Structures are given as C-alpha cells and as structure tokens.
Structure 1
C-alpha cells in the first residue's frame, strides 16, 4: 500500500475512533467494552474460586470457539460421544453469559431461565469446563496471579474473518443487529462488544509462555486439524490413536458440526424465530472457510483492517494465515 494511502487510512481510523460513541447499554471495564450489566458480575468473577483441573476455552467471539469447545471436551472426556449429545451449553459454563443474556434476550417472553454461572460452577463436583470471551485482565484473580493451574486453551483467528463472522452472529441479538457499515465502523473503532479486538487477543498471546496456556489458530484448525488435536491432547495429558482419529475428525468436520443440534444453537434460534425476534437468516456455523471476508467486505474496509492490524499487531510475532 502506498505511503500516502496508508496515511489516509490512519487518518480515517483516527476520525472513526473519535466519531463513534458507545451505545448506552455498554460500559468499559479495564479498557474492554462489555454490557453494562457486567458491572454486577465483575466482582464475583474477580473472586471466583478456580480449580487446578478446570479447563477453559477462551477467545474473542467468532474465532472458532464452538469448534474448539467440542474438540477439547471430547479429548478431555475420553472421546465420550454419548456424553457429547448433551448440549454444549450444559457441558460448558459461559462465565460472563448471564450479563449478556440478561441484556439482549427477553427471558420472560422466551421462557428461557438463565442460570447463574458462578453458582452453577460452585456446585459442580466433576471436572469443570468454562467458556469465556473476556480478556486475560478480566479473568479471575487466581488465574492472573498464577495461584491455580487451570488449563486455558485460547483460540485466535484472522481479524478480517472475525469481523465478518461476528457481524453475522449479531443477528441472534435483537438489540445488537445493525447494517454492516454501522457495525464495521463500531468494530474497527473499538466501540463494539468485547472490543478492542487486539487487547483481548494479545492479552493471551503475551501469556503463551505459561505452561497452563495454549494458543491455537483457527486457520491451523482448518488446514491441519489432526496436528491441532494432537497438540491439545498433549496439553491435556491424553492421546488419540489413529483408529480414534478418523471418527473424531468426522465428528468435528464442518458439515457434522453445522448439523449437530448439541452445538449449533438450533433450539435457541427456533425459539427466537417463533417469537419473531430473529431479524435475519442466522446460522451459528456459516462457511468455516479461511479468507471468506473477501466475499463480503469492500476494498476500503479491507484496507482499513490491514492498517488497523499493522498499527496494533506490530512486532508481536502473532501471524495469521489470510
């Protein structure tokens, strides 16, 4: 990109950052944009009692979280495909989920009770599986301070694909869905849910030296899933033989995941449709491709994302396959 062009895009990014305002139901917590309801949950999360055998799957939203969750749960549970028929929502606890759901879903209308994640985790006697999109700085103090050796698998994905995938995911939230143009401006100016993207991703990337933290890339999952499976299995002190690998790869294939009611939120979306709360056609798993952003973003959007990435990711060593 010519210097003049890069300079222009930097100027546009600066302008957007100053033009775009946070929506009323958002708040900022240690620099991260979250639902204001999170204010009530944050002290409880801060003091949450972790366990050494807890397994966490963390990510910025739409980075391959669901795919990684299913893979991790099966590897940690001796490939229990029967147990995997239970919904992913039951097998994992979404740490900050109650704050988000309370803000976006009319629970009385949908008759969906939202369990309190902290209470649920306290009562759980077996090994706990926890999902979170929070950055490292908002995880429980026991993890940040190294007092617990909970296993943390963090998934990262090329931000261009994340940007598009997150936009489509907003269709499930009645209050959040806007035009692509409006959403894009909020995302790239760090004024959208879980923004800034780079703060969240790099907060884990900078902890990759810790023995209880494993970073995996979505692009590597797409290009060489067996290697990622072996990597996670080693991290969880287990293994997968060649005979079992074939069945696991089939189970984790995009087509199987897309049609698996235990992981694809179909029950939730059916309920939203029934009550007229789904504003557009929605699928949790849409394409599963690397680089599909090229089909939906304009050249200007792509250029802005490239300059934005160059500014925020310089000299970190984190590289994405685009």
Structure 2
C-alpha cells in the first residue's frame, strides 16, 4: 500500500463525547484491528465477533474492558493508551470518528459497519431511553479526569420528533452522521478496509463472520462457527451484558441488558410517516451521493422511488 494514498488526520473532532487528541499519542502495532461506525450500527456485535476469532470462541471474553472506545472522553486518554500498550494479544478497539479526525495506518485493519440512518436514529432513541434516570449523575461521580457527559438522560419526546430533530440538526444530541459515513466511503477501496452492512450482519451472521475472519486472516475452522454464532446471538449478549456494555452495566436499566434492544432492520417503516422517510432519502443523496446513499439504505424499501 502506498502511504501517500492514505488519509491523514486533519482536525481534532469538536464534540463533548470525544477526545480525538488520543490519536496524536497512539502508536499502531502490526495487525491492530479498528472497528468503526457512526454508532448503533452493530459495533458491539462486531467487537464480539472479533473477540471470538482472536480468543478461540471463548464465552467469557470481557470485551468492554479490553476493547475500548479509543477516542471517547471516558476514560481519560492516558488510561486507554496504557491499557492498549499493556496488551499482548492482537489488539482491537472501536472508533466513532470520521476518517479525517483519526490517525489512519497501513499497519492496521479497519472494519466499518454501516446501517440505514433511520434505524440508527431510532436505535439512538432507544439507547438514550435505556439509561437509568440517574445515569448522568452516576457519570458525574466518576474521577475528575473523566470529565464530560458520558450518558444522556432519557428523552421526553416521541420517536418521530426525536428522529426529526436528529435529521434536522445532523445527529443531535450525539454527533454528525453524514460526514462519518461519507468519509469512510471515500476509503472503502483501500485493501485494509472492510465494509459490513448491518442488514447483512443480521440476515446471515455466519457469512459475515467468515468474511471478517478472512479479512483479518484469522483461521476459522468449520466446527467453531456454531459456537461463535451462539456467543454472538442477541440472547447470549443480552444475558451477559456486563461483558459488552461500555462504561459499566450499572449506567443502564436492567443491569445493562437494556443496552441491547431489538436489533431490527427497517423498523422505521412502521414508525416514521412517509414524508419523513422521503425527506431523509433526499438528504442522503444530497449528502452522500447516489451510490453511498443506496448502500446505506439497502435495508428494506425506500419511500422515494427515484432514490431506489
């Protein structure tokens, strides 16, 4: 790979959930694995798949502890860097940054997970409402070095109003949506980048596990796949939420199990009125271009026939 063709960090992402300066001090190792997404696109599931491949299908891997959100404000960046520097296994961690806000390397492999933005927004609605009522207060009691709001209080609005605000204000109350997917789409053809769509991940998890294993060059014998599928099921991950929920299961209702909601595709069809979907689809084409927009919305029908 010609390093002259690689993207490079152009900015520090200005958002209360992020500390992108961690990338200024991070040193890659050969074969590091970066799981990337906007959010609520199956990131935790892919982290679990990677853990299963690395740790020989074990059912007790504490993914939340060993695979951090590297550019989150919590915990502080030195804690995350020390954690990763001390690891002797093949490292894997997640980012929710656009490509131009992180340090990209030809030494690493990147898995980007995409999902229809309408389902992402509705999943964020559920995600925010899955937090305990006192979660922001609990987050504020963390050490002083872990400054910043980590968990938003449950919302008081309807799902449709929430979606409309998320669309109108580009990701509010979290972070911008369009630039994230657009930036990763631009590097999708690099040999160390793999694109995975949430629809495919849910529809045929086994096939996607095989794709990921081949991409990461992690041997996968046929006999291991049923065990990995069982450990990656929604039932299993919900039952063992403490192994996967970031920042501790105590911030979430039902001891973290509420962090894993429906895992559905095309839920927006039964929730959003057609005019909202059409508005989203037109915005998607304008922001992403037709090819990227079509890929992102491949889950289910589109409301505007001119986009499909």
Query: Structure 1 length normalisation: TM-score?
Result: 0.72
Residue 31 of structure 1, CA deviation? 9.3
CA shift for structure 1 position 101: 6.5
Match of 1:128 among 84, 87, 91: 91
| 1:200 pairs with 2:180 | yes
Number of residues of Structure 1 aligned to a counterpart in Structure 2: 266
Cα deviation for residue 269 of structure 1 reads 4.3
8 Å Cα contact 2:84-2:91 kept in structure 1:
yes
In the other structure, the counterpart of 1:63 is: 41
Alpha-carbon distance in 1 for matches of 2:20, 2:247: 29
1:150-189 pair list within 5 angstroms: 150-171=108-129, 172=131, 174=136, 175-178=152-155, 179=157, 180=159, 183-188=162-167, 189=169
- Residue 90 of structure 2 aligns to a residue whose secondary structure is coil
- For 1:220, the equivalent position in structure 2 comes to 200
Q: Aligned partners of 1:190 and 1:33: how far apart in 2?
A: 14
User: With CA pairs under 8 Å and 6+ residues apart, which has the higher RCO, 1 or 2?
Assistant: 1
Moved more, 148-157 or 245-254: 245-254
CA deviation map 1:44-86 (0-9, x unaligned)? 323421112211111111001111110111112332x1xx414
Structure 2 CA distance for aligned equivalents of residues 266 and 213 of structure 1: 24
Hey, what's the Cα distance between the residues in 2 that align with 1:242 and 1:273? 37
What is the rounded CA distance, in whole Å, between the counterparts of 2:188 and 2:182 in structure 1?
A: 10
What corresponds to 1:231 in structure 2?
A: 211
Work out whether residues 187 and 195 of structure 1, in 8 Å CA contact, stay in contact via their aligned partners in 2.
no
Report if the CA contact (8 A) 1:135-1:204 is conserved.
yes
Q: CA deviation at 1:162?
A: 0.6
Q: Deviations over 1:262-287 (max 9, x none)?
A: 4453994445569xxx9xx9712211
Structure 1 residues without counterparts, runs of 5 or longer? 1-28, 103-113
Match of 1:46 in 2: 24
SS in 1 for 2:94: strand
The 3 A distance-change label for structure 1 pair 244 and 232 is same
CA RMSD of aligned residues (A): 3.0
State the secondary structure of the residue aligned to 2:220. coil
Quick check: which has more Rg, 1 or 2? 1
Pick one of 52, 55, 63 that aligns with 1:74.
Answer: 52
